[in-house]
Structure formats: C-alpha cells, structure tokens
C-alpha cells in the first residue's frame, strides 16, 4: 500500500491559497487599510472602498456560476431590513446628489458588503483567517501608533504631537483606535475559545501587545466600547476564565502604565475625564452634547422619515445652540493645523434618527438586534456541542462574532460612520452575519428541493 508523499512548502502554500481563494478579496480589503492616508485628505472613496466593491462583484459572479439561492429567508430579511429606511431617507434628501451618495454609502456599509462577506465565508477556517487578518492589521497600525507616541510624530493632543493615529492621519483620529480595538476583540475571542495551544498562545500575546496602542490613542469612546466588548466575551466564555484573564490584563496594564510610565499622567487625566462629562465637560464633550440635542430636534420636526440622507450638516445650525464651537482643531501626523467642521452628531443612532427618522432607526437597529440575538443563540449552540479537548468547537468564532458586534453597537453611542476605517464595520457585520445566520453545524444549506449543493457558503465538514 503506497503512502501519500508530504507536500512541499510551495505546494502546501499553493493549496492553502487555493482553499482560501474566495475570501482573499476580503483579506485584501483589510490589508489595504494599512496603507497611508494622504495628509489632510478627507472624504471620498479609498482603495479599500474600491476593493470592497470588487468583493461584492466577486460574490455575485460566484452566485451566478453556482446557480444557487444566495441567502435564506431569515438572512435576507435581517441583512436587507435597513434598505427600507435608507431608501425612504434617500428619497427625502435635499438634493438628488446627496440622496444618491448617501444611499450608496449606507448600502455599501450595512447591506452589500456584509452580505458578500457572509456568502464568501464558507467555514470556520475562513472565519478565523479573517479574524487573524484583523489582528494583523491592528498590530501594524498599533506599531506605527506607538512609534508616533514615542517619537512625538502623532496627532496633536494637549499641545504635543503624541496621539497615536497610525496611517489615518490627524483628520481621522478614531481610525487607528477602531482598527486596534477590532484586532484586540478578535485576539481575545480566539484566545478564549481556541482549543489549540499554539493559536491560543499567539492570540494571548497579540492581545497584550495591542493594549498599549489602544491606550495611547487617547480615544475615550474606543476604550469604553472595548471594555464592554471584552467584558462580555469573558463572561460568555465562563466566569472562572473571566477572572483569570481579567487579572492578567489588569496586571499588564499596571506594568505598562505604572511601571514603565507610558503616558501615565495623560492617561489618568483622560480616564478621569470620562466621569466628568456632566460636572465639568471639556469643549469636545460640550460640542457632542450640543449636536446630540440638534439631532433630536431635527427628529421632532420630521419624526417618521427624518431630514433626509446627508441632511444633518445642512440643518445643524438651525437646531444647534450657541454652545457649539466652529469645529475641532486638528494638527500633527504630517498635516498642518486646521479647523475640522463638525458635520455629524458623533452618535450613529442619533444620526440615523435625525436623517432617517423612526422608520430608518427601527429598520437599522432592528437588523443589528436580530444579528445579536442570532449570534448569541449560535454561541449557546456552540457551547453545547461535544468537545474532545475541553473547548467546544466553534467557540472562538462565536466569541469573536459577539465581541465585534458588541463593540460596534457600544461604539455607535459615541461615533458614527465616516473615514477610511468605516469599511471595516461592513466586514465585521458580514462576519457576525455568517456566524449568526448560517448554521455552523451543517456542511451546507439545503436547497428548496431538499438536496445539499456541492458548493455552499459553509463547508464545516472539510474544516475538521
């Protein structure tokens, strides 16, 4: 009986790339966010946005070639629900150009790219590949951010160019914080739910490394969302493990900040400012509260349909109080000083409420809540699955999905879509959608005739 010869490294690499070919365009979207953003540039499509369009096109081609039903009824309703509010708000936009631009952006982020990612991911190996891609991008951006902090070449913060912004520049100070937070959430999920010692060790190391760049981003919203997401992941993974991991993370944070003094005074001041938003808020918090009030005022005038897509900047001055400043100061990281106009309420829920009304908010938030409920149901199912090594199969994917969605829903209370990193939100929603809406226990979805197609969006049997 002849034995199969072991594959050469080149052949093994070719086989791996061939197996991962359907999700490589999604990996390319993530990788392109590591490229530098033009200093001072803002708005407009980026290379990652362009490739996300190719991801949608690749998915459409695969569906046509496979001649199979793309989504189940549940998945189609959950993913397509935001279209209702988006279309109504686009029709009510102040101009046709604003309506079309807003429609394209919202469909890209909340419908088309998530649906394409959901369909291109076939099994848990593809899911883990994308999760590790998030971690890799976070490590790259985090390394640049820490270098900016140490060398004083970052964005301006309290008169010093020390704020870590990665390659996103001073005009998108949330970009690096978002990327690093996504990577941290993925790494923690992979560490808590993995049965393999090698992957678990690598994920733990990455998690600890990513704490520093997240800290020196000085982003309060990202900190709050990350603490909430990681806390949820730890609880969902098991209380005993939560206590152990929490102790390790706390000890690492104390060593980095207290022992080595990485910006300890500024970090303490920034952290303490979170609890001072009501008593003695700084100007950025005052601006945010003022824009929140303006968004609510817009909604009261147009409760069902809002003021239309891209309508917040046009209606802002008519609803904001005199407490609103002329803009936020940005400088550093290769860009000159400039006033950046405040064109959104920095709260996704209030942005949707003001521009799309109750119809849009119920449709969009309803889609997210349905994803969350289905993702948690999948996590419960994964925990009940039999395991040979003490860790249920697929628990890492469940924790990553729940953590990413939890982070995004929390962060949306302090931020909204905008900037190059927005396309990552679409990829995240696609990953969450795959876990929540495609049964991880089956090898492929059944067709209406009852047979199992050869090539489906999930091939878990081949991953074991």
Per-residue pLDDT reduced to its tens digit, 170-221: 888 899 999 999 999 999 999 988 768 888 889 989 999 999 999 999 888 8
Nearest to 267 by CA among 157, 423, 145, 103: 157
User: Do 266 and 215 contact (CB within 8 A), yes or no?
Assistant: no
Instruction: Determine the length of the chain.
Output: 464
| pLDDT of res. 131 | 96
Alpha helices in 152-253 (DSSP H): 173-193, 197-215, 220-237, 239-253
- 3-class secondary structure, 305: coil
Burial of 389 (0-12, 13-18, 19+ CB in 10 A): exposed
Six token digits for residue 269: 């001041």
pLDDT in single tens digits along all 464 residues of the chain: 445 555 555 555 565 666 677 899 999 999 999 998 765 455 567 899 999 999 999 888 888 887 666 788 899 999 999 999 999 999 999 899 999 999 999 999 999 999 999 999 988 999 999 999 999 999 999 999 999 999 999 888 877 888 999 999 888 889 999 999 999 999 999 998 876 888 888 998 999 999 999 999 988 889 999 999 999 999 998 877 667 766 776 776 666 655 555 555 666 666 666 665 555 566 777 888 899 999 999 999 999 999 999 999 999 888 888 778 766 767 777 777 777 778 889 999 999 999 999 999 999 999 999 999 999 999 998 888 766 566 677 899 999 999 999 999 999 998 999 888 999 999 999 999 999 998 655 433 333 333 333 333 433 333 33
pLDDT, position 451 = 37
Tokens (6 digits) for 167: 């390659």
Contact call for residues 290 and 338 (beta carbons, < 8 A): no
State the distance between the two ends of the chain, measured CA to CA, in whole angstroms: 25
Q: How many CB atoms lie within 10 A of CB 463?
A: 18
Q: How far is CA 342 from CA 127, 197, 278, 312, 314, in A?
A: 37, 47, 21, 10, 11
- Other beta carbons within 10 angstroms of residue 280's beta carbon come to 8
Give the per-residue pLDDT at 160. 85
pLDDT at position 448 is: 37
* Spatial contact of 250 and 413, defined as CB atoms under 8 Å apart: no
Q: Between β-strands 335-340 and 155-157, what pairing exists: parallel, antiparallel or unpaired?
A: unpaired
- Are 117 and 26 in contact by the 8 Å Cβ rule? The answer is yes
Report the pLDDT value the prediction gives residue 382, as an integer from 0 to 100.
87
- The CB density around residue 301, as the number of other CB atoms within 10 Å, is 12
Q: What is the pLDDT of residue 378?
A: 92
Q: What is the DSSP code string of 362-422?
A: HHHHHHHHHHHHHHHHHHHHHHHS--SSSS-TTHHHHHHHHHHHHHHHHHTTT--S-STTH
User: Which tokens is 88 given?
Assistant: 């109504």
Total Cβ atoms within 10 A of residue 299: 22
| Rg value, the chain, Cα | 22
328-332 vs 335-340, strand pairing mode: antiparallel
Round to whole Å and give the CA distance between 459 and 440. 9
Give residue 409's pLDDT: 97
CA-based max dimension of the chain: 85
Query: Within 13 Å of residue 303, how many CA atoms lie on the same side as its CB?
Result: 1
CA distance 331 to 310: 26
Give the helix/strand (H/E) hosting 4: none
């Amino acid at each position: 009986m002849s034995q199969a010869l072991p594959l050469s490294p080149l052949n093994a690499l070719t086989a791996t790339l061939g197996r991962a070919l359907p999700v490589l365009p999604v990996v390319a979207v993530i990788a392109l966010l590591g490229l530098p953003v033009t200093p001072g540039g803002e708005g407009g499509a980026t290379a990652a946005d362009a490739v996300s369009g190719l991801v949608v096109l690749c998915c459409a081609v695969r569906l046509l070639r496979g001649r199979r039903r793309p989504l189940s009824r549940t998945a189609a309703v959950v993913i397509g629900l935001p279209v209702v509010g988006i279309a109504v708000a686009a029709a009510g936009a102040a101009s046709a150009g604003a309506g079309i631009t807003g429609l394209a952006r919202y469909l890209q982020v909340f419908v088309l790219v998530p649906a394409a990612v959901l369909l291109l991911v076939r099994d848990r190996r593809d899911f883990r590949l994308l999760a590790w891609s998030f971690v890799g991008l976070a490590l790259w951006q985090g390394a640049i951010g820490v270098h900016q902090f140490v060398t004083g070449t970052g964005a301006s913060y309290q008169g010093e160019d020390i704020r870590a912004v990665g390659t996103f520049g001073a005009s998108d100070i949330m970009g690096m914080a978002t990327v690093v937070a996504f990577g941290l959430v993925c790494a923690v999920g992979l560490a808590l739910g993995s049965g393999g010692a090698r992957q678990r060790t690598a994920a733990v190391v990455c998690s600890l490394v990513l704490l520093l760049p997240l800290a020196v981003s000085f982003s309060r919203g990202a900190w709050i969302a990350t603490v909430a997401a990681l806390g949820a992941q730890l609880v969902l993974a098991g209380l005993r493990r939560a206590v152990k991991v929490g102790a390790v993370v706390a000890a690492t944070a104390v060593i980095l900040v207290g022992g080595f003094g990485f910006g300890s005074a500024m970090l303490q001041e920034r952290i303490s400012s979170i609890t001072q938003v009501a008593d003695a808020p700084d100007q950025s918090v005052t601006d945010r509260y003022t824009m929140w009030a303006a968004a609510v005022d817009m909604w009261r005038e147009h409760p069902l349909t809002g003021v239309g897509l891209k309508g917040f900047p046009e209606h802002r001055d008519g609803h904001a109080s005199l407490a609103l400043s002329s803009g936020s100061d940005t400088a550093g990281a290769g860009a000159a000083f400039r006033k950046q106009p405040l064109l959104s309420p920095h709260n996704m829920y209030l942005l949707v409420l003001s521009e799309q009304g109750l119809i849009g908010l119920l449709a969009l938030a309803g889609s997210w809540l349905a994803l969350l409920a289905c993702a948690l149901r999948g996590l419960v199912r994964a925990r009940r699955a039999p395991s040979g090594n003490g860790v249920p199969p697929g628990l890492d994917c469940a924790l990553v999905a729940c953590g990413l969605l939890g982070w995004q829903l929390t962060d949306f209370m302090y931020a909204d879509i905008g900037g190059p990193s927005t396309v990552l939100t679409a990829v995240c929603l696609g990953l969450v959608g795959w876990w929540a809406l495609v049964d991880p226990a089956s090898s492929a979805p059944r067709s209406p005739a009852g047979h199992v197609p050869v090539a489906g969006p999930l091939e878990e049997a081949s991953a074991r």
